[in-house]
């Protein structure tokens, strides 16, 4: 009781600190430096308190509920924090803490260009909004805080509003997020119609009496609504535009954490609130996960905008998380709860890992952009000489996202593989094929992700500078490096301590009522994690130790062999021409083979334009340009037809909009009479 009281007070203190940060930053907006310090210092304080709170819930188990009835019917300011909510609050607070430390230095390059107070205001409101989203316990209140989070993030996306493309990206995000909210609202209204309440607890208790059709409809609506926020294909089109448009520390939060609020609501609704899930729910999520992961990484490979590349990788990783979540739903419906626990632990573990390495990569990209003033990777090259520490941190993030051992990404993907292999072994024939395809997709995704980050790191940091901006680049400031260094260290620490963290995540899963008494299909100790049936096991400390020993032996062997050799330094042979950046492989060239292989899905385009010295003779070329691109098939075959249809319908509706007041009043009277007729019949 005492713990709960303290815990709830800490929770509200963190919200209060963020609100104070928001208001203060706005008040101090005339002084850029003060506004930056105030806004980000309070964000750091709020995040620290949020971390403390979430850890107290996760370790001590001091869950709490808080409710204030409002004067409006059906609305109550209702919070409830169980271990699942606390896990996501931990995630938000952790990334917010490091992003805010980074922002203290990063925001300086906006001084005298943009309103720093407004940035601090929306940033803190965004943080508070996310925490309230994962702790709201009333549907109407949830929609309000969901809207607060969405609007704050919208204003952050269009923060650099002098860039036209940012404003366009913001508009697309605004539309898509509200389309999603419309579906979520419909889902909640349907739940209200069936249960007579908007309280999550009451819905959970009474929804079991409703027909399966209601649950299925709610599933579809919620899948579209929350899936749009999570960025799953085909509802992803806003994500590659919006995430790069925001300031980099905000991109880190949006990509690392905000899209996970969609995953949180998937788990909350499908595995906690709604009754036993039918098999097809899990199969649908598995298929969507496989598509999202594969296409996400394919689109990422074709990108040469560093932030868009990272944004596409968010789609890929959301796909991987969905593979775990979908497997869990399938196992749950087949009454294989130990395997369901394994899959859900894999999904949550990857949620944690993705938040860390994606935040790290976005912060690294932000540092590079702040020095080179471009997002185009073709203009980078050789940055390792100018920004060695940033390069090291980016390399750690690249290795983690490529699932290379001993970093954290490797372990969660290994767990996801275990759940998919278990599905292949345990399920019946049609579902087995879904698991086989999902496992294949994950294996393929892993390989392509590694390839993509060889490209991203190589083109950005290795070889020679491709533009003058690179030659003027300097190492990131102290605050920026602290934020990145801690995240880079976390990728290693979480990988090394995966066994202990698996236990903690397992505690979060077993806190859900569906898995209260379920023994997981795996065991985990500090040294080893393995399947109880003996199918596979892994020891992350052993892998780390092996790598260290191997590297040490290699260095020692090389030293022994080469100690008596003299080092000769000479020019690289280059056929007599001058070495230059044009000899380096470009990002576009690197991915060309993949684009050719997947041309059926990626639909590459090539546009050649030639300018002649004499337009009439056309013998001598002055210049020629080749533009390579790819088409987003979802855009072409789904969104563009929908857009055309909307335009046509709007043109038709425009005829009704005569601009004549008398006509408008006539419409009112006609509708009134029509309704009276309808009610009379």
Partner 1 sequence: MIPITPQILFFLETMLFASVVFMHIAKKNSGVIFLYAAQSLIIAIALFYSSLKEASLLLVVAAVATFLVKVIIVPYFFSGLIKKHRLQFSVSTYLNTPMTLIVLALLTAFSYSHFFGPLTILAPDKENALSLAIAMVLISIFLIINRKGALSQMVGILSLENAIVSFAYVAGLETTAGLQVGILFDIFIWVVIASVFASMIYRHFGSLNVSVLKHLKEE
What are the residues binding partner 1 (CB under 8 A)? 657-662, 665-666, 668-669, 672-673, 676-677, 679-680
Q: Among 390, 299, 337, which residue's Cα sits nearest to residue 595?
A: 299
At closest approach, how far in Å is the CB of 170 from partner 1? 24
**Residue 553 or 672: which CB sits closer to partner 1?**
672
**Residue 547 or 673: which CB sits closer to partner 1?**
673
**Residue 542 or 666: which CB sits closer to partner 1?**
666
Q: What CA–CA distance (Å, rounded) separates 544 from 560?
A: 24
Please calculate the CA angle 484-104-22 and round it to the nearest 5 degrees.
Answer: 120
The strand pair at 604-612 and 537-538 is best described as unpaired
**Residue 585 or 666: which CB sits closer to partner 1?**
666
**Residue 193 or 648: which CB sits closer to partner 1?**
648
Q: What is the dihedral of CA 323, 328, 329, 332, to 10 degrees?
A: 160
The number of helix segments (H) and strand segments (E) in the chain equals 27, 7
Answer whether 304's CB lies under 8 Å from 378's CB. Answer: yes
**Residue 572 or 679: which CB sits closer to partner 1?**
679
At closest approach, how far in Å is the CB of 651 from partner 1? 13
Answer whether 293's CB lies under 8 Å from 452's CB. Answer: no
At closest approach, how far in Å is the CB of 66 from partner 1? 36
Q: Is 644 exposed, middle or buried (0-12, 13-18, 19+ CB in 10 A)?
A: exposed
**Residue 443 or 676: which CB sits closer to partner 1?**
676
Q: What CA–CA distance (Å, rounded) separates 514 from 276?
A: 9
SS3 call for 538: strand
- Which alpha helices (DSSP H) does 334-477 contain, by range? 337-372, 383-386, 388-401, 408-426, 429-461, 468-471
Residues in the chain: 681
**Residue 600 or 680: which CB sits closer to partner 1?**
680
231: left (phi over 0), alpha (psi -120 to 50) or beta: left
**Residue 59 or 663: which CB sits closer to partner 1?**
663
**Residue 569 or 669: which CB sits closer to partner 1?**
669
At closest approach, how far in Å is the CB of 646 from partner 1? 18
**Residue 211 or 660: which CB sits closer to partner 1?**
660
**Residue 542 or 647: which CB sits closer to partner 1?**
647
At closest approach, how far in Å is the CB of 678 from partner 1? 10
The residue behind tokens 């990783």 is 317
At closest approach, how far in Å is the CB of 660 from partner 1? 5
Q: What CA–CA distance (Å, rounded) separates 35 from 134?
A: 28
At closest approach, how far in Å is the CB of 653 from partner 1? 13
At 195, list the tokens.
């249960």
At closest approach, how far in Å is the CB of 673 from partner 1? 7
**Residue 582 or 648: which CB sits closer to partner 1?**
648
Phi, psi of 126 (to 5 degrees): -60, -45
Answer whether 442's CB lies under 8 Å from 320's CB. Answer: yes
232: left (phi over 0), alpha (psi -120 to 50) or beta: beta
At closest approach, how far in Å is the CB of 668 from partner 1? 7
Q: Among 511, 470, 480, 255, which residue's Cα sits nearest to residue 390?
A: 480
At closest approach, how far in Å is the CB of 647 from partner 1? 15
- Which alpha helices (DSSP H) does 196-259 contain, by range? 200-206, 212-230, 239-245, 248-253
**Residue 577 or 662: which CB sits closer to partner 1?**
662
At closest approach, how far in Å is the CB of 648 from partner 1? 18
Identify the H or E element spanning 80.
strand 76-81
At 451, list the tokens.
């390839």
Considering only the C-alpha atoms of the chain, give the largest distance between any 2 of them, rounded to a whole number of Å.
Answer: 104
Q: Is the peptide bond prior to 234 cis by the omega test (within 30 degrees of 0)? A: yes
At closest approach, how far in Å is the CB of 427 from partner 1? 58
At closest approach, how far in Å is the CB of 675 from partner 1? 10
**Residue 644 or 673: which CB sits closer to partner 1?**
673
At closest approach, how far in Å is the CB of 335 from partner 1? 54
At closest approach, how far in Å is the CB of 649 from partner 1? 18
Q: What CA–CA distance (Å, rounded) separates 123 from 119?
A: 6
Answer whether 509's CB lies under 8 Å from 418's CB. Answer: no
CA quadruple 496, 499, 501, 505: dihedral positive or negative?
Answer: positive
Answer whether 445's CB lies under 8 Å from 403's CB. Answer: no
Q: What CA–CA distance (Å, rounded) separates 311 from 631?
A: 17
């Amino acid at each position: 009781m005492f713990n709960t009281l303290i815990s709830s007070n800490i929770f509200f203190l963190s919200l209060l600190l963020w609100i104070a940060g928001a208001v203060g930053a706005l008040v101090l907006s005339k002084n850029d430096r003060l506004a930056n310090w105030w806004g980000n210092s309070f964000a750091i304080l709020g995040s620290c308190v949020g971390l403390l709170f979430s850890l107290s819930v996760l370790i001590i188990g001091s869950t709490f509920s808080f409710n204030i009835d409002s004067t409006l019917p059906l609305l109550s300011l209702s919070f409830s924090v169980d271990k699942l909510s606390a896990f996501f609050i931990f995630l938000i607070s952790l990334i917010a803490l490091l992003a805010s430390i980074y922002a203290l230095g990063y925001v300086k390059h906006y001084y005298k260009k943009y309103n720093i107070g407004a940035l601090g205001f929306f940033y803190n409101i965004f943080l508070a909004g996310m925490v309230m989203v994962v702790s709201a316990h009333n549907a109407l209140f949830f929609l309000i805080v969901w809207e607060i989070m969405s609007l704050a993030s919208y204003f952050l996306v269009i923060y650099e509003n002098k860039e036209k493309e940012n404003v366009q990206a913001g508009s697309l995000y605004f539309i898509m997020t509200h389309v999603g909210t419309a579906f979520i609202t419909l889902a909640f209204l349907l739940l209200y119609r069936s249960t007579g309440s908007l309280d999550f607890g009451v819905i959970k208790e009474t929804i079991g009496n409703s027909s399966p059709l209601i649950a299925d409809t709610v599933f579809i609506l919620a899948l579209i609504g929350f899936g749009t926020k999570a960025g799953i294909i085909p509802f992803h089109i806003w994500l590659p535009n919006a995430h790069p448009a925001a300031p980099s520390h905000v991109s880190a939060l949006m990509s690392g954490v905000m899209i996970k609020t969609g995953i949180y609501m998937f788990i909350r609704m499908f595995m906690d609130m709604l009754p036993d899930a039918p098999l097809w729910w899990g199969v649908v999520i598995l298929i969507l996960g496989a598509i999202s992961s594969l296409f996400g990484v394919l689109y990422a490979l074709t990108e040469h905008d560093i932030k868009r590349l990272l944004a596409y990788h968010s789609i890929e990783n959301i796909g991987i998380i969905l593979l775990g979540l979908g497997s869990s739903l399938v196992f749950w419906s087949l009454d294989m709860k130990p395997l369901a626990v394994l899959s859900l632990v894999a999904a949550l573990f990857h949620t944690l890992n993705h938040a860390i390495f994606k935040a790290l990569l976005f912060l690294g990209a932000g540092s590079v952009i702040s020095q080179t003033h471009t997002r185009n990777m073709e203009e980078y090259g050789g940055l390792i000489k100018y920004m060695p520490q940033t390069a090291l941190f980016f390399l750690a993030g690249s290795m983690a996202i490529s699932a290379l051992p001993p970093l954290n990404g490797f372990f969660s993907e290994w767990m996801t593989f275990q759940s998919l292999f278990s599905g292949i072994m345990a399920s019946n024939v049609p579902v087995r094929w879904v698991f086989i395809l999902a496992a294949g997709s994950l294996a393929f995704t892993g390989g392509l992700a590694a390839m993509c980050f060889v490209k991203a790191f190589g083109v950005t940091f290795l070889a020679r500078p491709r533009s003058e901006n690179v030659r003027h680049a300097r190492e990131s400031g102290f605050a920026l490096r602290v934020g990145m260094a801690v995240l880079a260290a976390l990728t290693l620490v979480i990988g090394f301590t995966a066994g202990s963290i698996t236990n903690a995540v397992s505690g979060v899963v077993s806190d859900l009522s569906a898995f209260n008494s379920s023994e997981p299909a795996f065991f985990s100790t500090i040294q080893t994690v393995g399947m109880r049936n003996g199918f596979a096991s892994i020891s992350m400390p052993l892998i780390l130790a092996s790598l260290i020993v191997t590297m040490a032996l290699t260095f020692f062997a090389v030293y022994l062999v080469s100690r008596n050799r003299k080092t000769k330094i000479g020019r690289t042979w280059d056929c007599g021409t001058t070495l230059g950046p044009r000899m380096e492989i470009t990002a576009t060239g690197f991915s060309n083979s993949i684009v050719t292989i997947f041309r059926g899905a990626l639909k590459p385009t090539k546009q050649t334009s030639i300018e002649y010295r004499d337009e009439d003779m056309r013998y001598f070329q002055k210049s020629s340009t080749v533009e390579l691109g790819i088409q987003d098939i979802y855009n072409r075959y789904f969104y563009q037809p929908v857009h055309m249809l909307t335009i046509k319908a709007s043109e038709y509706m425009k005829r009704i909009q005569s601009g004549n007041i008398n006509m408008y009043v006539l419409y009112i009277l006609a509708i009134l009479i029509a309704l009276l007729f309808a009610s009379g019949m």
